């Protein structure tokens, strides 16, 4: 039986690839996609999600979520994802429209009405998930786990110590990481083990379908100097399809919300120095070739 999931995202080039990977997989059944402001403003990323689904011809409910972080001002990632959010690609066709339900209401109903526990794949700032937990704590018992792209054991891509998704809304991240929901975290430690080179992009470009051409065009925008630094958002999806791709250890993880220089840092206690509860399973290693093959085969399966 396939696993029911909700994807909470901010497409976003790598978000789009993560959604494609999930759509193509037999192991996952996407019940709902929710959007959260991050890489771009909420209107744009919600439209991007609908256009992406139109492009691959897959109808899934898309519910619009938070337009800004809980307490902080919104920070966009235009340099990485471009003005459109898909690099320099603009998808035109729009077959589907946004849900009447808000992201929080749609998530709540989907989770509470599901016979099987729901897994949430969170690949943007964690604002929606924090609002969901605070508004409807009764959902927690029917959430199987959160598979998250965010954070890092060491180093950041937004500041010297903070990764983008956590940096944008650290207050939300703290609520989520402290919630008691089982969390698996895919941070920069693993995503930077998946650089993509020109030949990896060309392999996708020449698959011979329109999804491959679209994916490659987006990836061209991500390509800086001689490579794409890392492939982020497909990781938490790939883990649900094949967990054996990753080496994972349980750790205590705290979120820095107030630090003068360290806002959004994920403080990962790999050596259990604090003795605090191990609230997160942290991915430390990934098999690069296998995950890139998985992505390639997923794109090949689409139109
Ligand atoms: C994360 O930040 C976003 O720009 C990407 O989509 C990814 O979710 C990587 O730090
Ligand atoms: Ca993202």
Query: How far, in Å, is the centroid of ligand 1 from the Cα of 189?
Result: 13
Give the whole-angstrom CA distance, residue 107 versus residue 32.
8
9 bridge partner residues: 35
Whether the Cβ atoms of residue 85 and residue 39 lie closer than 8 Å to each other: yes
DSSP helix/strand/coil, 190: helix
Please name the residue that has the structure tokens 């605070």. Answer: 134
Confidence class for position 79, pLDDT limits 50, 70, 90? confident
Q: Given the structure tokens 């950041």, which residue do they identify?
A: 156
Q: Is the CB of 39 under 6 A from ligand 1?
A: yes
Whether the predicted pLDDT of 194 surpasses 90: yes
- Alpha carbon distances (Å) from 29 to 22, 69, 184: 8, 28, 19
Token pair for 85: 């959010």
Which CATH number is 185's domain given? 3.90.245.10
Kindly state if the Cβ of 233 falls inside 6 Å of ligand 1. yes
Put simply, whether the predicted model's pTM sits higher than 0.85 gets the answer: yes
Nearest residue (CA) to ligand 1, atom 2: 164
CA angle 193, 194, 199 (to 5 degrees): 135
Q: Domain of 116?
A: 3-301
Bond before 181 cis per omega within 30 degrees? no
List pLDDT tens digits, range 82-120.
888 899 898 989 999 999 999 999 999 999 999 999 999
Note the pLDDT tens digit of each residue in 6-64: 999 999 999 999 999 999 999 999 999 999 999 999 999 999 999 999 999 999 999 99
Q: For residue 124, give the ligand 1 atom closest to its CA.
A: 8
How far is residue 280's CA from residue 189's CA, in Å, rounded to a whole number? 15
Q: How far is CA 266 from CA 79, 150, 256, in A?
A: 23, 9, 6
Expressed in angstroms and rounded, the spacing between residue 158 Cα and the centre of ligand 1 is 10
How many angstroms does the Cα of residue 274 sit away from the middle of ligand 2?
31
Pairing of strands 143-149, 118-122: parallel
Is 232 tagged catalytic? yes
Number of structural domains found in the chain: 1
- pLDDT given for residue 88 in this prediction: 86
Distances (CA, A) of 185 to 7, 92, 108, 278: 15, 34, 22, 12
Q: What is the DSSP letter of 75?
A: -
Q: Which pLDDT score is estimated for 110?
A: 98
pLDDT at 80: 84
* 81 band by pLDDT with thresholds 50, 70 and 90: confident
Distance CA 268, CA 248 (A): 13
What are the CB-based long-range contacts (under 8 Å, 24+) for 206-214? Answer: 207/296, 207/299, 207/300, 209/299, 209/300, 209/302, 209/303, 210/55, 210/303, 211/20, 211/55, 211/56, 211/299, 211/302, 211/303, 212/299, 212/300, 214/55, 214/89, 214/91
Please name the residues in contact with 177: beta carbons below 8 A apart, sequence gap of 6 or more. Answer: 183, 253, 254, 255, 279, 280
With the C-alpha atoms ordered 123, 126, 129, 131, is the resulting torsion angle positive or negative? Answer: negative
The catalytic position among 232, 236, 255, 283 is 232
C-alpha 142 – ligand 1 centre gap (Å): 27
pLDDT in tens, 218-271: 999 999 899 999 999 999 999 999 999 999 999 999 999 988 999 999 999 999
| pLDDT confidence of residue 48 | 96
Q: Is 179 helix (H, G, I), strand (E, B) or coil?
A: coil
pLDDT of residue 203: 98
Q: Is 26 exposed, middle or buried (0-12, 13-18, 19+ CB in 10 A)?
A: exposed
Any atom of ligand 1 within 6 Å of the Cβ of 169: no
Is the shortest distance between the CB of 144 and ligand 1 below 6 Å? Answer: no
- Using CA atoms, how far residue 143 sits from 33, 133, 135, in Å, is 15, 11, 15
């Amino acid at each position: 039986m396939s696993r029911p999931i909700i994807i909470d995202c901010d497409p976003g080039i790598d978000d789009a690839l993560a959604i494609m990977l999930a759509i193509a997989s037999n192991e996952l059944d996407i019940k709902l996609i929710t959007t959260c402001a991050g890489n771009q403003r909420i209107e744009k990323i919600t439209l991007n999600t609908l256009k992406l689904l139109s492009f691959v011809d897959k109808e899934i409910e898309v519910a619009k979520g938070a337009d800004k972080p809980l307490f902080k001002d919104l920070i966009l990632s235009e340099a990485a994802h471009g003005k459109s959010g898909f690099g320099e690609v603009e998808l035109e066709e729009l077959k589907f429209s946004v849900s009447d339900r808000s992201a929080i209401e749609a998530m709540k109903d989907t989770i509470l009405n599901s016979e099987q526990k729901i897994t949430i794949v969170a690949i943007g700032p964690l604002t929606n998930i924090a609002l969901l937990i605070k508004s409807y704590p009764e959902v927690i018992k029917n959430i199987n786990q959160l598979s998250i792209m965010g954070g890092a054991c060491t180093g950041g891509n937004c500041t010297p110590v903070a990764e983008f998704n956590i940096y944008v809304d650290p207050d939300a991240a703290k609520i989520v990481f402290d919630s008691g929901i089982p969390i698996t975290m895919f941070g920069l430690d693993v995503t930077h083990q998946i650089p993509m080179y020109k030949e990896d992009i060309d392999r996708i470009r020449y698959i011979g379908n329109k999804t491959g051409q679209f994916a490659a065009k987006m990836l061209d925008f991500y390509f800086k100097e001689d490579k794409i630094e890392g492939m982020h958002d497909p990781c938490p999806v790939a883990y649900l399809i094949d967990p054996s791709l990753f080496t994972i250890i349980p750790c205590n993880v705290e979120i820095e919300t107030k630090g003068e220089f360290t806002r959004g840092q994920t403080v990962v206690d790999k050596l259990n120095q604090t003795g605090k509860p191990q609230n997160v399973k942290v991915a430390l290693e990934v098999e690069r070739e296998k995950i890139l093959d998985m992505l390639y085969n997923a794109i090949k399966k689409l139109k």
